[in-house]
Amino acid sequence: MVSAVLLVFFSFLQITAPPAAAEEENSGSSIVITARQIKAMNANTTGDVLNRVPGVKAGDTSVSIHGSSKVKVFVNGKPINDPTSSHGGVRWDMVTLEEIEKIEILRGKGGVEHGSDAAGGVILITTRKIENIKGHIKTQAGNDDAFNTKVNASMAHGKLGVGVSGEYNTFGGYKPNNDKETGRMGTRFEYSPEENKDFIFSADYMHDERGLSGLPAFPTPYSRKETEISLFSFLAKIDKFKSKTYLNQGRKHNTDKSKHLDKTIKVKNFGQDFNYAHSFNTLNALNMGAGYEWGEATSTSFSTKEEYSWSVFSSWEKRFKSVPVTLTLGVRGVYYSEFDRAVNPEIKLEYKKKRWQVSASYSRANNTPSFYHRYNETSSTIANPDLEMETADNYELGLSMSVTPKLSAHLSLFYNSLKNRITYIRDNNGIGQYSNIGEVTYKGGDVGMNWDPLDELNITSSYTYLLAKNEQTGLSLTAKPEHKFNCYFNLKPMDKLSLDLNLFYTSKVYTNTKNTKTVSEYLRADLRAEYFFDNFSLFSKIENIADKKYYYSDGMLAPGRNWLAGINYHF
């Protein structure tokens, strides 16, 4: 019943105002969100921003695009994916929303330039250039002993800019063994000796300790996880050349005294990329480069593992004088020490007019199983060192348009085929492992809308249809809802007051590979209010207003009604 009402409502929105949110730079599979748009959203986290993009789902430490969690995320060229994660985890706490200048989302593409593990796409985050003394402090608290404080400050002196940031977060939990405590600190140095020469060094450290409550049917009241991550990067831009160097280190310690489990895994990832971009004229441009990646894992349960890869890529962009068409052709070749060699092409054709544009794209990407996938053990997971690499072929058609100055729209259709898809399979006792399950397909589409019916009111909505199937069995994949709908209402009854009502709908999902167990559909509503003064604001938020009991797509129990309130101070 709920799904029927929502679909009728959304169909009405499509007829009266075709959906989607886009700017001039948006073109089908690529979406750009600017600092101005982020400010207008009145969002609280980076995830809040990304969840407004059709086809994108962001959690506290995760992100997926069109059902795939293999998404690479970069901040000023630095990858912030968790090196110890098994599902493409992302440390969003490595960047604060107030620092962001631009977010570019490449849905189902980007692997040619940015490498493996990008079958879902790539997210590129650019922070504001340090130009003067400024900063902010945000502190908030809520029920279940929730507390969070963030601070960042930056200053520039001549050609040198320095920034520091930190965060502390605690949560008591809304169910047994659901608490967490997280601390982070980071620094950034920018040096711009002259025009077209920029050097950025950044370092971040994060420590996280939490309980793992487990599924309701298989609780793990004594399972604990401690995570440490250090990220270092150096980005150099000199005219047409760009060099990116990074070192990511992670340590994960899993314990469960009821099962005599005490396992530690340490992972190091080092990468070096070189890029050269050259425009021959206004119609032809070349982008080419090479990269090297090295990884090492050590653990209390297995001997040291080491692997590496070499890659080269090239892409050519061709524009035409007589018609507004852009053709992009690219290819990346990769040599893996542990997996088969790969050659991945990428093709995009775009037709762009003043108020609308249409695009078609195809790309191939490889997803390599992480050390954590293959070797780590927890209270509910056993190792599988024989995992093979996934291969994903992605096709997409996209349409973006500016219907009126106050109404923009987006539509896309996608088809993704994955070979040797990696998934977690659990037995009847709640114990599982990651395995290759052959070929799966993701088919579907998404639509979205950004509409200002009044000067004081903005409505942003998106709907995603996803049919995720195991082609060998014909059954649906687990944790992949067929329908997802978001709608955001932002009302500004006066200059200094902003009110937000957010609606989230997710259809039922299967929680086992035989499709005999499901998690029911749910509709959740959140309310947020913020009042602005000259250099600070007061805000509050109530999530799950109706206090509805529901479960996430992975079968975990979601929180009931919760609230938070805080202050955001800028200087």
Nearest CA-CA partner of 3 in 477, 475, 410, 482: 482
- What secondary structure, in 3-state letters, does 408-438 show? EEEEEEEEEEEECCEEEEECCCCCEEEEECC
Question: Whole-angstrom Cα distance, residue 31 to residue 399?
Answer: 12
DSSP 360-424: EEEEEEEEPPPHHHHH---SSB---TT---EEEEEEEEEEEEEEETTEEEEEEEEEEEEES-EEE
Domains of the chain with bracketed CATH:
2-570 (2.40.170.20)
Q: Tokens 């659901």 identify what position?
A: 178
Nearest CA-CA partner of 273 in 310, 303, 232: 310
Strand runs labelled E in 180-283: 180-194, 197-211, 214-215, 218-219, 223-238, 241-256, 261-279
Torsion of CA 109, 115, 120, 126, to 10 degrees: -80
| Residue 489 confidence (pLDDT) | 96
User: Hey, is 320 helix, strand or coil?
Assistant: coil
The full length of the chain comes to 571
Q: Low-confidence residues of the chain, pLDDT below 70? A: 1-29, 86-88, 379
Residues in Cβ contact with 517 at an 8 Å cutoff, skipping those fewer than 6 apart: 510, 511
Across 502-521, b (16+ Cβ under 10 Å) vs e yields bbbbbbbbbbebeeeebbeb
Cα–Cα distances in angstroms (integers) from residue 186 to residues 81, 156, 205, 442, 567, in the given order: 16, 17, 6, 38, 22
Question: Whole-angstrom Cα distance, residue 196 to residue 288?
Answer: 19
- Name the helix (H) or strand (E) containing 440: strand 440-454
Beta 100-107 vs 356-367: how paired, if at all? Answer: unpaired
| Residue 86 confidence (pLDDT) | 63
At 375, list the tokens. Answer: 């070797």
| Residue 29 confidence (pLDDT) | 56
CB 140 within 8 A of CB 333: no
The pTM for the full model equals 0.87
| Residue 558 confidence (pLDDT) | 94
CB 148 within 8 A of CB 140: yes
Q: How far is CA 41 from the centre of its chain?
A: 18
Nearest CA-CA partner of 296 in 250, 246, 253, 341: 250
End-to-end CA distance of the chain: 49
pLDDT tens, residue by residue, 444-476: 999 999 999 999 999 999 999 999 999 999 999
Residues in Cβ contact with 2 at an 8 Å cutoff, skipping those fewer than 6 apart: 505, 521, 523
Report the sign of the C-alpha dihedral through residues 370, 178, 55, 409, in that order. Answer: negative
User: Hey, is 99 helix, strand or coil?
Assistant: helix
Strand runs labelled E in 11-70: 30-34, 56-58, 63-65
| Residue 373 confidence (pLDDT) | 83
Nearest CA-CA partner of 146 in 177, 175, 183, 181: 181
Beta 536-543 vs 509-510: how paired, if at all? Answer: unpaired
Question: Whole-angstrom Cα distance, residue 203 to residue 268?
Answer: 15
Question: Whole-angstrom Cα distance, residue 15 to residue 9?
Answer: 10
